[in-house]
A and B are shown apart, each in its own frame.
Chain A
Amino acid sequence: MSADEGVPEFPARVCVDCGTLYGHEPSVCRECGAETFETERLPGSARLYASTTIRVPGSDHQGQEPFVVGLVDVGNAVRVTARIEGIDAGDPDARPAPDSPLEYVGKRDGTFYFRPA
């Protein structure tokens, strides 16, 4: 049984010209300058690089606080900025430590979501 069973795959983007992988949608390929990308699905298992709990948001996100934002490494392939859910964001001790395992949840309103694995 795969460790990733039931975990959605992460939709990375790959440059059709040179094969460079991206987590977030690139404007152009940083390596070769190409402008065309395809989706490459990666296993949704991930690892937290580091995170924070936003308690004083900007006006665009008021009312959502507290919420956790982290840098997440998907496989060893791409790093993305994402929301971390499935924890009590108000509890300072509940925020997962750096290097904790996470899994991909999905993308909503342009933002990637992960949760503790």
Chain B
Amino acid sequence: MRDVSIVGTGTTEFGVLDGGVKDLGSRAVARALRDAGVERPDVGALYVGNFVAGILEGQGAVGPIVADEVGLSGAPAMTTEGACASSGIALRQAQRAVASGEYDVVVAAGVESMTDAETPEFTRALGSAADRLTEGVTGLTFPGFYGIYLDRYMHEYGATREEVAAVSVKNRANGAKNPRARFREPVTTEEVVESRLVADPLRLYDCCPAADGASAVVLAASDLAGEFTDDPVEVLGTGHATGHNAAHRYADLTTLDATVDAAESAYAEAGIGPSDVDVVELHDCFTPAEIGDSEDLGFFEKGEGARAVAEGRTEVGGEVPINPSGGLLSKGHPVGATGIGQVYEVCRQLRGDHENQVEDAEVGLAHNLGGSGAVCTVTVLGRGDRR
């Protein structure tokens, strides 16, 4: 297996944007190609993560549609779909395709367009990631999944609503400085715990907003990276695991096995452990998700994540900076784009030009989760000159 590096990145803002998935995806891919200085004939393949375009926009074949639009006809293009982890999967497949020697240069992208839909419509579309026959019929939504999760988490570990709200307070403060974020106003603990109930005990400011957006990266074999950039980011390791297709499938809902397993794979491939990670972008679709993820990724013991965030240990200057981008809670969650959007933010950290820069960040981690913890990808990235 060859070492693989990211040699170009491109993104749109995340927010309420004009255009559908063809427009947004094509812009992100074109920007990444321009950043890398890659000629189109040199692109071996294109992987595009997308989840709900078929449901909300009536647009299928997103990978090939985007490929032709950006001048990549001829190259194999495909859509990867794993709910909200769709583009984490795209990156993982792209890395494998280069590492195997099949291609020297591959583009991985993610795209979603959601804000034209009314809330009940996109709530239904996102709910399609849960097993329709056992859970969809009950009316359980994704905020509802994390409402149940939080109900049990607080019961098991004694976490308080105020501690959990600290996730939103931290991430919204970070997002205030990120020009790519949909929400750029900070919130207080009081505003979170007094916002209206969505899926008890989850409240509105515990929930990430929907968004439109697209992100892309160009990957190349590391020994060719110097042809494209002086500042490559190494893909040190990736993991991709399957968890459970419904909430009732977990014996312990407060541990999402897919995250544990994907992290174990990614850490092993990178040859590092959680204590070596300098900056983290993880899947904070809801406040309790960030708390559980921070434990399942190995940064804190189970049951300590809520206290850790309330104590400031995950702020930009803390021991484990988590979501300095503002996370999904601030950036918004254009579901198919989120995974590579996270990778984009980590690349900026490792290149030293992030708006919320973590000092001397050399190793970063991106964690992307889909469905009821049904699918997870973890990507470990390293600054090109760290060795």
Q: When the two chains form their complex, are residues B124 and A50 in contact, meaning their CB atoms are under 8 A apart?
A: no
Q: Once the chains are docked, how many angstroms separate the CA of A61 from the CA of B12?
A: 34
B248 located at the interface, meaning its Cβ lies under 8 Å from any Cβ of chain A in the complex: yes
Give every chain B residue within 8 A of A110 (Cβ-Cβ).
133, 137
Give every chain A residue within 8 A of B121 (Cβ-Cβ).
59
Interface residue tally for chain B (C-beta within 8 Å): 36
Q: When the two chains form their complex, are residues A51 and B151 in contact, meaning their CB atoms are under 8 A apart?
A: yes
Contact of A71 among B124, B127, B141, B148 (CB under 8 A): B148
The distance from the CB of B3 to the nearest CB of chain A, in whole angstroms, is: 38
A25 located at the interface, meaning its Cβ lies under 8 Å from any Cβ of chain B in the complex: yes
Contact of A56 among B140, B199, B248 (CB under 8 A): B199
Give every chain A residue within 8 A of B301 (Cβ-Cβ).
none
Give every chain A residue within 8 A of B271 (Cβ-Cβ).
none
Interface residue tally for chain A (C-beta within 8 Å): 36
The distance from the CB of B31 to the nearest CB of chain A, in whole angstroms, is: 34
Q: When the two chains form their complex, are residues B138 and A71 in contact, meaning their CB atoms are under 8 A apart?
A: no
- Contact status of A81 and B134, CB under 8 A, knowing A49-B253, A69-B144: yes
Q: When the two chains form their complex, are residues A49 and B152 in contact, meaning their CB atoms are under 8 A apart?
A: yes
Q: When the two chains form their complex, are residues B248 and A24 in contact, meaning their CB atoms are under 8 A apart?
A: yes
A: which residues have CB within 8 A of B?
A: 23-25, 49-62, 64, 67, 69-71, 79-83, 92, 95, 97-99, 109-112
Closest 8 CB pairs of A and B: A52-B147, A58-B124, A50-B152, A61-B139, A59-B120, A53-B200, A50-B151, A24-B134
B: which residues have CB within 8 A of A?
A: 119-121, 123-124, 127, 133-141, 143-144, 147-149, 151-152, 155, 196-202, 246-249, 251, 253
